Structure 1
Amino acid sequence: MVRMDPKLVVAILLLIAVSATADYVRPKARKNLDFPRKSRGSSHPHQVHISVAKDKHMRITWVTDDASSPSVVDYGISPGKYTASAQGESTSYSYLFYSSGTIHHTVIGPLEDDMVYFYRCGGGGPEFKLKTPPSKFPITFAIGGDLGQTGWTASTLDHIGRCDHDMYLLPGDLSYADYQQRLWDTFGELVQPLASARPWMVTEGNHEKENIPLFKAGFQSYNARWKMPFEESGSNSNLYYSFEVAGVHVIMLGSYADYDEYSDQYSWLKADLSKVDRNKTRWLIVLFHAPWYNSNKAHQGEGDDMKAAMEPLLYAAGVDIVVAGHVHAYERSKRVNNGILDPCGSVHITVGDGGNREGLAEKFLNPVPEWSAFREASFGHGELKIMNATHALWSWHRNDDDEPVRSDQVWITSLFSSGCLTEKRHEFRKILMSP
């Protein structure tokens, strides 16, 4: 039997949330930031970001203008003293009249958990510092989607930088390059201070497509620049994958990859969920771009087909929290499944308002659906602090005149501790055995 701290019990009682629509009025969207071209050596590493690779390993990604620059990372636990080195791979791509720099991907490790490492890319250049995630609770995720590179994006990134987080989760729409490939480069520069220090785990949104029928396949830029651990998780596509960290299994699904019951993504998801041992992995979180539960007028119904195909599988597996982007407003649901309140359903959270140039989606549907607990049109970010096997604290921090203001907060109890998983095991086995 799990004993709870009395202070935690009091906090839970004080944070009972009621259905609400905030009357907050947000200023209009800000323009894209101006990025003057920088003068640097051709082998100078830039757009550095890190992501989780296989167990106890990190992938370091960076870009150089020089194709001959080595894809090597030197690293160690003391500044300027590198005790290990790893060799990786490089790629590049062309898009109409644009040619990318050389994009390097190098996996380092094994690494100690919850440890600071110092590293440099390409055998020279500046030194960077990263911190690996913890191996056990507590763990803190910063979460936000639809970033772009506007003045509001800069505000959001500043606030995330103040948050003592272990990892950043981004449910789609990164750069808002929209075919203008130089904007992928400026986005990489913009996020480097944060993305080079903590793992950024992302999935694709509609603005990553960039397909040109009969000429260019979709997601070329995204796949080349933001390589995620899809192979390590048994997926055959960079558009969907999973990873495990500190007792949390995180699944990143693709709203813009085939997802019906005959698709590769559905088959992979089914297999991935079957491998999760909930006696050891107490929390199950899923992210994708187009929300399944949305009471905003924007993008209404766009996630319905994916929801029809995959929600029964997520419900049977006991997914605790589902996070989406796409809609440029914040919304949090109560536990819901198949459109109705269900104590064994998932909490759905929409965070498609990191700072995009398109502005906020300020028009909500009325009356408020029974499943909607809180909704607000504001730029900002979320923080998910998973305290232990049974409780997590979710909070939403809006960018109120460039100051982070917490406007929503709630304790979430895991389905593991509620007894729901025992009831679901038979149901899940039936789905796994279905053709």
Structure 2
Amino acid sequence: MDYQTLMLKLALITALISAASCAYTADDYVRPKPRQVLHFPWPSHHSSEPQQVHVSLAGENHMRVSWITDDSFAPSIVEYGTSPGQYTSRAQGESTSYSYIFYSSGKIHHTVIGPLDHSTVYFYRCGGEGPEFHLRTPPAQLPVTFAVAGDLGQTGWTKSTLDHIDQCKYDIHLLPGDLSYADYIQRKWDTFGELVQPLASARAWMVTEGNHEKESIPFLKDGFQSYNARWKMPFEESGSTSNLYYSFEVAGVHVLMLGSYTDYDEYSDQYSWLKADLAKVDRERTPWLLALFHVPWYNSNTAHQGEGEGMMAAMEPLLHAAGVDIVLTGHVHAYERSTRVYNGKSDPCGAVHITIGDGGNNEGLARRYKNPQPEWSAFREASFGHGELRILNSTHAYWSWHRNDDDEPVRSDAVWITSLASSGCLREKAHESRKILMEP
């Protein structure tokens, strides 16, 4: 390929990327100036040394360990045990890799370990060499605590958010989309993996995709290639055919991880899967039902207005019929908590919707809200931070939101939430639930 042809191809790719990126910007919203992006002066790694280690749940009593090596011949094995340096078990996994224009990834390893005991610290080593890591498995029964932060990115605010979460005594991290903000620059996926490794290697990180994960280039690249290769979630274990939507259970909680950027209408695979998944939920065994996805349905910020309406029209009746207690979303770079709401207005049998896209991205905060404040909007503020959801028992949970500007123990917003399973709402909606969830 001659120089002129190469330059023309690069210009075309740049234009397509720019067009794809601009497609997600609301016409009436102007982003603040970007925050400073972190620099990563980490030393180079030995080719077989595990990098970007993170763990996730992978079905009952199992966890998936994921990491990357520069050495394409490094084995996908994990040795583990309950004492430092003493590995009594060994598991063999799988590996993949991908190319993206001029970038080639390292070898991406995914290995499922288990069965594991609950509430237990395991020490593990990836690939038969390198440093030892440790993880803690979640509890078998309530209480259980989730840390929640979306739209993380790689800025000084991200680091502050992660430092706050590190002080939180949590069992699982929930991330409702927009992880690395690589935005086509694949090396930023690597630096994000290094940034979150201290936390993500020690507790399960359960994630779903946002618009910044798509990275599609018309006619050249399909979407979500990097995300799907690096952040494999338990979609197969939950009967899904796509890494973009799945579910999992922990303690007494069933969690739906849905995709805002894949088909969701009533004829889609995601809709059919969701309907079947909800029909199997046993509220005696899992009295709490949560849902996560990227684009909020209830949003009084001027940013991204109306972008969730299509998914809401298709799926809100399903979530309401099933009695979803709490919906966690990102996308809008601010915090907002609703009352229990359904069909656009407060409803005691609806879900509490929480927008928490304030993890620390480089695009800045979304500071403009619509006035007057909608009657369903209970609290809203444009600050970076994270949330903590502590589900104490089958009836009560405590939600708190923590600003980065405050010390970790400071709760900037907090509320007790009573489960719908204990309120009588599920009995009242039993006929509606059977009709919506069971009928073809």
TM range (shorter): over 0.9
Distance in 2 separating the partners of 1:352 and 1:390: 27
- SS of residue in 1 equivalent to 2:128: coil
Give the aligned partner of residue 150 of structure 1: 155
Give the aligned partner of residue 83 of structure 1: 88
Pick aligned residue for 1:102 from 91, 102, 107: 107
Are 2:276 and 1:233 equivalent residues in the alignment?
no
Pick aligned residue for 1:35 from 37, 40, 49: 40
Pick aligned residue for 1:257 from 250, 254, 262: 262
- SS of residue in 2 equivalent to 1:395: strand
Give the aligned partner of residue 380 of structure 1: 385
- SS of residue in 1 equivalent to 2:404: strand
1:22-61 to 2 correspondences below 5 Å:
30-61=35-66
Contact in 2 for aligned 1:50/1:198 (Cα 8 Å) = yes
Are 2:368 and 1:359 equivalent residues in the alignment?
no
Q: Name which of structure 1's ranges 75-84 and 419-428 shifts more when overlaid on structure 2.
A: 419-428
Over the matched positions of the two proteins, sequence identity in percent amounts to 77
Contact in 2 for aligned 1:171/1:289 (Cα 8 Å) = yes
Give the aligned partner of residue 67 of structure 2: 62
Amino acid at match of 1:280: R
Give the aligned partner of residue 211 of structure 1: 216
Contact in 1 for aligned 2:321/2:437 (Cα 8 Å) = no
Give the aligned partner of residue 294 of structure 2: 289
- SS of residue in 1 equivalent to 2:71: coil
Are 2:195 and 1:190 equivalent residues in the alignment?
yes
Give the aligned partner of residue 162 of structure 1: 167
What is the TM-score with the length of structure 1 in the denominator? Answer: 0.93
Give the aligned partner of residue 416 of structure 1: 421
- SS of residue in 2 equivalent to 1:207: helix
Pick aligned residue for 2:124 from 109, 119, 122: 119
Structure-2 change in CA distance of 1:132 and 1:403 (3 Å)? closer
Amino acid at match of 2:331: H
Structure 1 gap ranges (5+): 1-26
Distance in 1 separating the partners of 2:160 and 2:350: 34
- SS of residue in 2 equivalent to 1:273: helix
Are 2:434 and 1:432 equivalent residues in the alignment?
no
Contact in 2 for aligned 1:398/1:404 (Cα 8 Å) = no
Contact in 1 for aligned 2:33/2:363 (Cα 8 Å) = no
Distance in 2 separating the partners of 1:422 and 1:380: 37
Q: Which deviations, in whole Å up to 9, do the C-alpha atoms of 1:65-96 show, x marking residues without a partner?
A: 00000000000000000000000000000000
Distance in 1 separating the partners of 2:155 and 2:214: 20
Q: Which deviations, in whole Å up to 9, do the C-alpha atoms of 1:314-343 show, x marking residues without a partner?
A: 000000000000000000000000001110
Distance in 1 separating the partners of 2:231 and 2:37: 22
Are 2:139 and 1:134 equivalent residues in the alignment?
yes
Contact in 2 for aligned 1:385/1:392 (Cα 8 Å) = yes
Contact in 2 for aligned 1:29/1:360 (Cα 8 Å) = no
Structure-2 change in CA distance of 1:160 and 1:91 (3 Å)? same
Contact in 1 for aligned 2:278/2:437 (Cα 8 Å) = no
Q: CA deviation at 1:433?
A: 3.7
Amino acid at match of 1:71: S
Q: CA deviation at 1:401?
A: 6.5
Give the aligned partner of residue 11 of structure 1: none
Distance in 1 separating the partners of 2:406 and 2:41: 25
Give the aligned partner of residue 10 of structure 1: none
Q: CA deviation at 1:30?
A: 2.8
Amino acid at match of 2:213: E
Q: CA deviation at 1:402?
A: 7.3
Q: CA deviation at 1:406?
A: 1.8
- SS of residue in 2 equivalent to 1:400: coil
Give the aligned partner of residue 275 of structure 2: 270
Contact in 2 for aligned 1:155/1:402 (Cα 8 Å) = no
Give the aligned partner of residue 98 of structure 2: 93
Q: CA deviation at 1:165?
A: 0.3
Distance in 2 separating the partners of 1:210 and 1:348: 28
Contact in 2 for aligned 1:159/1:404 (Cα 8 Å) = no
Give the aligned partner of residue 23 of structure 1: none
Structure 2 gap ranges (5+): 1-31
Pick aligned residue for 2:206 from 197, 201, 207: 201
Q: Name which of structure 1's ranges 403-412 and 143-152 shifts more when overlaid on structure 2.
A: 403-412
Are 2:395 and 1:390 equivalent residues in the alignment?
yes
- SS of residue in 1 equivalent to 2:315: helix
Q: CA deviation at 1:36?
A: 2.3
Contact in 2 for aligned 1:344/1:415 (Cα 8 Å) = yes
Distance in 2 separating the partners of 1:293 and 1:422: 26
Amino acid at match of 1:99: S
Contact in 2 for aligned 1:32/1:357 (Cα 8 Å) = yes
What is the TM-score with the length of structure 2 in the denominator? Answer: 0.92
Distance in 1 separating the partners of 2:86 and 2:400: 39
Contact in 1 for aligned 2:207/2:257 (Cα 8 Å) = yes
Q: CA deviation at 1:29?
A: 5.4
Q: CA deviation at 1:434?
A: 3.2
Q: CA deviation at 1:272?
A: 0.2
Amino acid at match of 1:429: R
Query: What is the aligned-residue RMSD (CA, Å)?
Result: 1.1
